[in-house]
Structure 1
Amino acid sequence: MRTYAIGDIHGQYDLLRAAHDRIDADRTRCGDSAAPVVHLGDLVDRGPDCASVIGYLRRGIGAGEPWVVLKGNHDRMFSLFLHDPGARDPGLRSSFSYLHPAIGGGATLQSYGVRNAADRPLAPVHAEALDLIPPEDRAFMAALPSQHRRQDVLFVHAGIRPGIPLDDQIEDDLVWIRGPFLDDPRDHGPLVIHGHTAIHQPEHHGNRVNIDTRAAYGGPLTAIVIEDRAVFVLGDHGRIPLLPGDGIDTSA
């Protein structure tokens, strides 16, 4: 069983296309065009080309590409803002709003042509967003699943609540959790592939693999391939094994 995965994108369209190029090169070496590519969410916010990222993934899936796109907390906040600009995601700290610079929603709206969203009254910004963002993109983002499982591997954006059966996990945890999941060394059953918590290089912790390598902050966008439970980082010159206890510098 072979599955590819890509970490948090955050509007970095060029990095996303380069990650797909590395996956395509690995597919050619393996002779495998059918293995799915799981995108771990956070398509939007902070980066410059969020609209291009959404359109590229939506059109690719529509054309039959074997791609899975999961919901991240930023994706959920984007959809919530479009539905009700006054609503607050329960995972968001009270000192922040979706348009706060630390969250980066303004960059997403700007990629669709909504200028200076954080500096203008909310009502006209929201109305302009609804006018400029295609309904197809809005529907695509609203319908993203929060997890994907392939045999002994589970893909989620942020992690799971340890000790809770997988069928009973709630979306708030799947897109927001950190400490209770990151600090738990127990075997979760499947190997959990996740992002959400930005690190400088992909890390394998035995029970989980984190591949959010700070693309939102100028870092690389990591792509990996998993075969059964073996994990390899895809570099420009092929595969690099990622073993439990390892971290791999992908910035060189």
Structure 2
Amino acid sequence: MTDPIYAIPDIHGQDALLDEALERVARDGGPQATIVFLGDLVDRGPDSRAVIERLMQGQAEGRPWRVLRGNHDQMLLDFLDRSVIHSPRVASGLSWLNPRLGGAETLASYGVTAPDPEAAHAEARAAVPQAHRDWLARLPLWHEAGPLLFVHAGLRPGVALDRQDPDDLMWIRAGFLDHAEPHPWLVVHGHTALDHPAHFGTRIDLDGGAGFGRPLWPAVFEGRGCWLLTDSGREPLTPAE
């Protein structure tokens, strides 16, 4: 039997919730449990800097943590590198600095409070450590583990993994969420916030909406079997009948 692998979905700057999730993983699998973080580490919550620092430190200490890049992490990079605050993939047209997207909260966690985007960009370039920016830029977009594929948003059905569009891996909804045919793996993703994690047979969406004040749900996988980790132990997550 293969060793269990754990997953923690979209954290969105909620460091206190991350602390609880890591405690649940440690109780179930020990301090050296293999964990895949599904991206969207930042935005909306108050502690994006603390989340990044915690994950960077864990990896530096040699913990077997795989951290993926989500679309919100990419928006932070785009702002730092090119002062971009509008993504063509945001259907609403809202700015990254709008409270609904939460970029201003990320900047505030670094002490950046300038209301003007140009001034905020200059402050951010000085306030965000280069090591944080470089770490985010190096994060992979997917992690394959036997019958499982971990990815932030999803993938384009029928396209080989090494030919996937990076934007799809971080942003896709239409064409993936409505695809009913099996993939080569059970796809484990976040990105699309639900009221509660759900198993759809060919994919599992673990994003229970921590970025909107709902719980952060860690999960454990053994083969294709999935259990959510609660305060009272494992709770099976199975397809709806």
Which TM-score tier does this pair reach, normalised by the shorter chain?
over 0.9
Aligned to 1:249: none
Give how far 1:93 is off.
3.5
Counterpart secondary structure, 1:179: coil
Aligned: 1:131 with 2:126: yes
1:181 match: secondary structure: coil
Contact 2:68 2:151 in 1 (8 A): yes
Among residues 33, 56, 59, which one is paired with 1:58 in the alignment? 56
Does 2:113 match 1:111?
Answer: no
- The structural deviation recorded for 1:103 is 1.1
Aligned twin of 1:27: 29
State the aligned residue count.
239
Asked if 1:174 is matched to 2:176, the reply is no
Contact 1:80 1:89 in 2 (8 A): no
TM-score scaled to structure 2, two decimals? 0.95
Task: Answer yes or no: is 1:158 the counterpart of 2:156.
Answer: no
Partner Cα distance (1:51, 1:241) in 2: 33
1:193 aligns with 2:188: yes
Contact 2:156–2:168 (Cα < 8 Å) also in 1? yes
Choose 97-106 or 53-62, whichever is displaced more.
97-106
Q: Take 1:157 and 1:208, find their aligned partners in 2: how far apart are those partners?
A: 12
The answer to whether structure 1 residue 99 and structure 2 residue 97 are counterparts is yes
Q: Distance in 2 between the 1:34 and 1:229 partners?
A: 21
Secondary structure of 1:139's aligned partner: helix
Partner residue in 2 for 1:38: 36
Structure 2 residue runs without a partner (length 5+): none
Paired residue for 1:76? 74
CA positional deviation for 1:76: 0.3
User: Is the contact between residue 40 and residue 156 of structure 1 (CA under 8 Å) also seen in structure 2?
Assistant: yes
Distance 2:32 2:45 in 1: 30
Contact 2:189 2:204 (C-alpha < 8 Å) held by counterparts: yes
| Secondary structure, counterpart of 2:124 in structure 1 | helix
Deviation at 1:105, TM superposition (A): 0.4
> What TM-score do you get using the length of structure 1 for normalisation?
0.91
- Superposed counterparts of 1:217-232, under 5 Å: 217-232=212-227
| Displacement of 1:87 | 6.5
Q: Once the two structures are superposed, what CA deviation does each residue of 1:221-248 show, in whole Å capped at 9, x if it has no partner?
A: 01000001100111111111111227xx
Aligned to 2:203: 208
- The CA deviation at 1:90 is 3.8
- Asked whether the equivalents of residues 39 and 69 of structure 1 are also in contact (C-alpha less than 8 Å), the reply is yes
Q: Which residue is equivalent to 1:9?
A: 11
Give me the whole-angstrom Cα distance separating, in 2, the residues matched to 1:103 and 1:87.
Answer: 10
Structure 1 runs of 4+ off > 3 angstroms?
A: 86-90
Residue 141 (structure 1) aligns with = 136
Matched-pair identity in %: 47
Q: Cα distance, 1:164 vs. partner?
A: 1.4
Separation of aligned partners in 2, 1:94 and 1:145: 27
In structure 2, what is the Cα distance between the partners aligned to 1:89 and 1:102? 14
Q: Which amino acid aligns with 2:192?
A: T
